[in-house]
Structure 1
Amino acid sequence: MKKTLKISLIILGSFLALILIINIGFSLWLKYKLPDYLKNKTPYQITYQSLNVEILSGGISANQIKIKTKQPNNLETIALEGSLGILNISRLGVIELLKNNRIEASSIKLVKPDLRVRLAKPKAGKSGKDPIPFMINNIEIDHGNIGVKRSDETQLFSAKDLNLNVKNLSLNQDPDELPFALDSYNITAKDFFFRLDQIYSITSSDIKTDNGKLEIDDFEMKSLVDFKNWEQSFRSQKSLFGIKSKKLTFDELVFSKTKLSLKNAQIKDPEFVIQNRDNKVVKTSKKKSRFDLNFENFDIINGKLSILKSNGKKTLSIAKFDANIKSFLMNEETSKNKLPFSYQDYKISGNQFFYDAGQYYTVDLSSFDVTSKSIDLKDFNLNPKVSRAEFVRMIPMENDLFDISVNRVQLSGLRWKFENDQPDILLKNARLTNVDANIFRSKIPRDNPKEKLLYSKLLRTIKFPLVVENLDLVQSKLVYEEDKPDSNGPGKVIFTNFNMNVKNLNSNKKKGANTNVPIVINCKFMDASPMKVNWNFDTANMRDNFTIGGYINNLPANDINPFIKPYMNITATGTITSLNFDFKGNNDIMNGKFRITHKDLKVNILDKDTKEKKKFLSAVANLVVKKDSKKFPESVDIYVERNKQRSFFNFYWKGIEDGLKKTLLVVKID
């Protein structure tokens, strides 16, 4: 046993001695032969004041170095030109440098380097990517001016007055990962430039670290190609991005090949510009990134945002906004979800929001505040882009033109999540204050044959769970105008001082939940008469049953002429002291009770085409108009069949119209 151990120790000692002898021999070769080798066998002209090789450590140091490529037009080798005050290299891989133009070393220190570097041309048959030009674990640069270009002379990196200390650096060419990873770093630099890829570069006027905090002044990420060239050459991408900021700061910035982690990141006065292509993406990549992005706390201060169409016109813009997001995480696991990231909380506030909503509308806001639990919008406007006449000429069939403003929209108690790739939204309260809505429809275009769904069915078409527990419209105004080819101007219905409360607005997607939707409306009809409506439907009812009832009091008959004139071809004077209705219906029919009382009521019957008064027929009609409402029946029965190409409110109006005809006149008016 002792003999075996002794033999093993002798073999091990001999092996270690051999390694030591080889190392010393190689170091001696470096010391005495390297100068001649550098002069005669390398592609560079190198001069220096002194050169020292440490035999035991294998380190190399030199000072007052000048270097120049012998054949600057040879793209097969790395081109170097410039000078260094001092160069210290630990464990240089000379063979790798001479054979493959690649620097391998444990560490390198450059003092006052002033270097221009052009990388070698990629070898034929390769992927076309430039090879990684060096593999150095630790890099230290002291007051350097360095520029690096690719073989095609495109700038890859440059910095002035660069001071850098990097520990355990590793480079990477996997497109799904970061281009480098490191354990720690310190940096200061002026006029910094770095090319991220074929499209984007990053620049900064000043970069520095202080006790682990990174500060970047005048940061800019911009495209190196114009939009037209990008659109033609990079068809798998939907958008081209640009970011400018006066200052970026990170309390802690952690790099690894598959993770970028930021702690207390802050970006001040940024301008974000996104330009989208109009055509569909030609090629898409289904490969999911293995890259993790983690923001512990991220702030945007005094930001601006512009999203542009391909022609440069704005799709969306925000003049000023602030944002904060906490514990943002995007990784391979979150990418499997419908929402490809997770977060703890967020807050966004801003002003002067603009959105181009398509062919007919724009949307703007004076200010907004959004959190994970609430939304507060001020001075919301949905603005038509075109006049009514232009709209009528543009639409292929009947459609509504909306002009809507809201003084304030407040949503509170918001809870939402994704479950089984579907959103699940619960909203405790929605409050819309001072809504001013004008809805215009022309009957000149051809009818739209598409069925207009009743609201219960329309809510059921929402594919995910949605519940709004309480919705209020406060002190609002609604105007509906309908223009017929055979009328003189549009018929108009006006509701002012409009207050509406809706409970339990839902999409019937939660099993066992209450699906009944009660609605109460109080307003002034035609800006003159008190009106109340109680409306009720159930989103779970497949026949779309509903009830709607209410009253209008003290209505001057003149006030309803704008609407009954184009539709009933009559006008009226006097006062309708009360109008009561109690209807029930479904998707096919509506019936119920209607009652009207009036005072000094007279009617004028109009010619259907000319709208002129038919004197004789009007005189006859007024002879049979029931002037004394005390003799009216308690109520009349109404019955109407639904035209499913018309809206619910058309259906409701037909019931009122049927009641008016049956109570005002005892003769049929054609």
Structure 2
Amino acid sequence: MPKLIEDKKDIPYNITYKDADVLLYSGNITFHDAYITPKDSGTNELKKGAFCKVKKIAVKGIGIWSILFGDEISANSVKITKPTVMLYQQTKQDTVKEESKKPFKKLITTKTVKIENGNFMLLDTLQKPKANIKGISFSMNDIAIDSNSMKNKIPLRYKNYNLECDSIFYHASKFYNLTAANLKTTDTSFVADNFKMIPLQKRMEFNSMLTVEKDQFTVKAKQIALPNVKWGFKDDTLFVHSPKVILNEVDANIYRGKMVADDFSTKKLYSQMLRELDFDLKIDEVELKDSKIVYEEQRTYEKPPGKLEFSKFYASIYNLYSPINKQEHPETQIDVKCNFMEVTPLKVNWTFNITDESDKFTIKGNLGSINTKNLNSISAPLMNATTSGNIKNVVFTFHGNREQSHGSFAMNYNNLEVNFLKKESKEENGFLSFVGNLAVKNNSNGELKQTDVTASRVKYKSTFNFLWRFINQGLKQTVLPEILHGVGKK
């Protein structure tokens, strides 16, 4: 056996082991304390390729004739116990896929492979951890590998597989690390617990690394689940199809520092993003359960950021897909129920069709009763004003496209007062507030007061900025006379 392995000159790896138990009559061989190392690893200062240490490899049902007269070892099953793999990348051209395939190309063909209690670490070109997976258990059945399959995106054919691991770490970029626990996936399902996307920098440091403004995300999810999923490649095109994706107890914080220079590049609307995906995506429903989303925007470090908070957030997104390989193009629909600023019920319905190249969409919303003092954390930094009074109900319909919007805004309110602030200050602009409150229509007399609204899109800002411009204009047209519609602008 050592001679047979050594004679495999086309394999760029040394394969050694401490000892082996060989039973020729049954075709079973067990290797103990095996090591796999690149053949040139002793001559290079920097490590490159895969280094593997395995406690035990049990190969059963070996075909003796394929060993003696063929160029591969064929077996019924291979069981690998406690493997530890360190994969070093030297250059961008040395891909993980190619490096990990090299030791196994023409060495073993088997029907079943099992891995127990494995560990895997990927190190970048500076030999810093880029990925770390612990507690790996894996099985794959009815495996077939031949010269044709090796040319495919997935270099083998199989009946099914099962993968479990205790924890996953991935260094996604210079800004974020991704982690998850208790990952379980098969050829038809996927579940991961305690997903986290954690920034590597504090907010001030993050902003200092940017040339133009960008959101910083902190995202946690108790569980991400795809109970039934199909994926693979068709004519070299990746496809991912699933009737349902469940995101349970997501806690997301989105921070934007406005002290960084504006990014004047045109921002794509969501319909365009989906339309331009380069793979076949089809998800019938995404369900977001019992979640929380907070958006914070900060103009200077001397003032706290303005904060929008949506808690007890439940959403269903229907027909999330790309146009590739689709005969039908149904409307994408998003239904949201949540509490706005912790206390006020909010319902939103959002629809669009990804094939509409004008990117038309409609957002309908209904906001319940709220004391406007709860809005000061938004209005002060974003509108340069504070308010007091009660809003009993807000209803709006927002029709938009990539250029502009129109629709209706209606509000029922009473005892409303507006205090305008001095520019870039917490101090009240007494004169403007006095004049404004003389003119403010501080009651709607128990009825929904409606106004027609138009708003232009600022193309280098987000969809949510577009919606905010619409609502902001609706608020001003409802409570202020026309002469004061422009006050409070920054």
| Both proteins in one fold, TM over 0.5 | yes
1:214 and 2:26 correspond: no
* Distance in 2, Cα, partners of 1:240 & 1:207: 29
Provide the residue aligned with 1:391 in structure 2.
206
The whole-number CA distance in structure 1 between the counterparts of 2:269 and 2:8 is: 58
User: Quick one: which amino acid aligns to residue 477 of structure 2?
Assistant: K
Matches within 5 A, 1:610-621: 610-621=425-436
What does residue 478 of structure 1 align with? Answer: 293
Q: CA-to-partner distance for each residue in 1:564-617, whole Å, 9 max, x for gaps?
A: 111211111122111111111111111100011113221111011223101222
1:489-528 paired onto structure 2 within 5 Å: 489-528=304-343
Letter in 2 for 1:221: I
Residue 242 of structure 1: CA displacement?
Answer: 1.4
In 2, are the aligned partners of 1:495 and 1:523 still within 8 Å (CA)?
yes
Paired residue secondary structure (1:472): strand
Secondary structure at 1:330's aligned position in 2?
coil
Tell whether the 8 Å contact from 1:292 to 1:331 is kept in structure 2 after alignment.
Answer: no
SS in structure 1 of the partner of residue 44 of structure 2: helix
> Which residue of 2 is the match for residue 351 of structure 1?
166
Which of the residues 252, 270, 283 maps onto 1:468?
Answer: 283
- Deviation, structure 1 residue 329: 2.6
Shift of 1:413: 1.7
Which residue matches 2:52? 243
Per-residue deviation, 1:338 = 2.8
The 2-side partners of 1:573 and 1:398 are apart by 32
Alignment-mate amino acid for residue 264 of structure 2:
P
In the aligned structure 1, how far is the partner of 2:271 from the partner of 2:87?
A: 39
The correspondence for 2:88, drawn from 242, 263, 275, is 275
* Deviates most, 526-535 or 593-602: 593-602
User: Letter of the aligned partner of 1:253 in structure 2?
Assistant: I
The 1:422/1:451 distance shift into structure 2, 3 A limit, reads same
1:328 and 1:231 map into 2 onto residues whose CA distance is 35
Instruction: Output the CA distance in 1 between the equivalents of 2:27 and 2:343.
Output: 70
Aligned residues of 2:37 and 2:51 also touching (Cα < 8 A): yes
201-210 or 646-655, which moves further after superposition? 201-210
Q: Which residue of 1 aligns with 2:16?
A: 202
Q: What do the CA deviations read for 1:501-558 (whole angstroms, capped 9, x no partner)? A: 0111111223421331111000001111000001001011111110000111011211
Q: Identify which range, 484-493 or 220-229, moves more after superposition.
A: 220-229
Does the 8 A contact of 2:414 with 2:445 survive in 1?
no
1:381 Cα deviation after fit: 0.2
Q: How does 1:371-450 map to 2 (within 5 A)?
A: 371-450=186-265
Secondary structure of the residue aligned to 2:368 is: strand
Contact 2:14–2:37 (Cα < 8 Å) also in 1: yes
User: What secondary structure, in the 3-state scheme, does the structure 2 residue paired with 1:322 have?
Assistant: strand
Q: Specify the code of the residue in structure 2 equivalent to 1:587.
A: R
Comparing 572-581 with 413-422, which one deviates more in the overlay?
A: 413-422
Distance 1:204 1:535 in 2: 64
User: How many Å separate the matches in 2 of 1:331 and 1:619?
Assistant: 83
Distance 1:665 1:307, change over 3 A: same
SS of 1:560's equivalent in the other structure is helix
SS at match of 2:323: coil
Q: Match for 1:222: what amino acid?
A: T
Unaligned runs of 5+ in 2: none
The CA distance in 2 between the partners of 1:595 and 1:279, in whole Å, is 56
Q: 1:650 to 1:417 in 2, by over 3 A?
A: same
Q: Distance in 2 between matches of 1:170 and 1:548?
A: 65
* 1:304 corresponding residue in structure 2: 119
**For 2:244, what is the secondary structure of its paired residue?**
strand
| Cα distance between partner residues in 1 of 2:349 and 2:5 | 71
Give the whole-Å Cα distance in 1 for the aligned partners of 2:477 and 2:43. Answer: 68
Matched AA of 1:527: E
Aligned to 1:263: 76
Aligned amino acid, residue 663 of structure 1: T
Check conservation: 2:312, 2:339, Cα contact below 8 A. Answer: yes
C-alpha distance in structure 1 between counterparts of 2:446 and 2:370, whole Å: 19
2:297 aligned partner, one-letter code? E
Name the structure, 1 or 2, with higher relative contact order (CA <8 Å, separation 6+). Answer: 2
Deviations 1:331-352 (A, max 9, x none): 2111232322221111100112
2:380 aligned counterpart, secondary structure: helix
**Partner residue of 1:541 out of 356, 363, 370:** 356
Q: Distance in 2 between matches of 1:631 and 1:349?
A: 59
Distance 1:442 1:491, change over 3 A: same
Post-superposition offset of 1:223:
4.1
Identity %: 28
Q: Is the 8 A contact 1:556 1:575 kept in 2?
A: yes
For 1:59-70, list aligned pairs within 5 A: none
Distance 2:304 2:342 in 1: 19
Q: Could you say which residue in structure 1 is the equivalent of 2:406?
A: 591
Alignment of 1:635-646 (within 5 A): 635-646=450-461
Displacement of 1:426 in angstroms is: 1.0
Question: Quick one: structure 1 residues 420 and 170, their matched pair in 2 at CA, closer, same or farther if it must change by over 3 Å?
Answer: closer
Q: Which amino acid aligns with 1:295?
A: T
Q: What is the rounded CA distance, in whole Å, between the counterparts of 1:273 and 1:603 in structure 2?
A: 63
Alignment length (residue pairs)? 474
2:109 to 273, 285, 294: 294
SS at match of 1:413: coil
The alpha-carbon deviation at position 292 of structure 1 amounts to 7.7
Structure exhibiting the larger radius of gyration computed from Cα positions: 1
Whether the aligned pair in 1 keeps the contact of 2:412 and 2:448 (CA below 8 Å) is no
Kept in 1: contact 2:363–2:397 (CA 8 A): yes
How far did residue 225 of structure 1 move? 5.1
Aligned alpha-carbon RMSD (Å): 2.6
- 2:392 corresponds to 1:577: yes
CA distance in structure 1 between the partners assigned to 2:151 and 2:51 by the alignment: 28
| Contact persistence 2:412–2:449 (CA under 8 A) | no
Alignment CA distance shift 1:228-1:503 (3 Å): farther
CA contact (8 A) 2:411 2:448 kept: no
- Residue identity matched to 1:277: Q
Alpha-carbon distance in structure 2 between the residues aligned to 1:631 and 1:524:
23
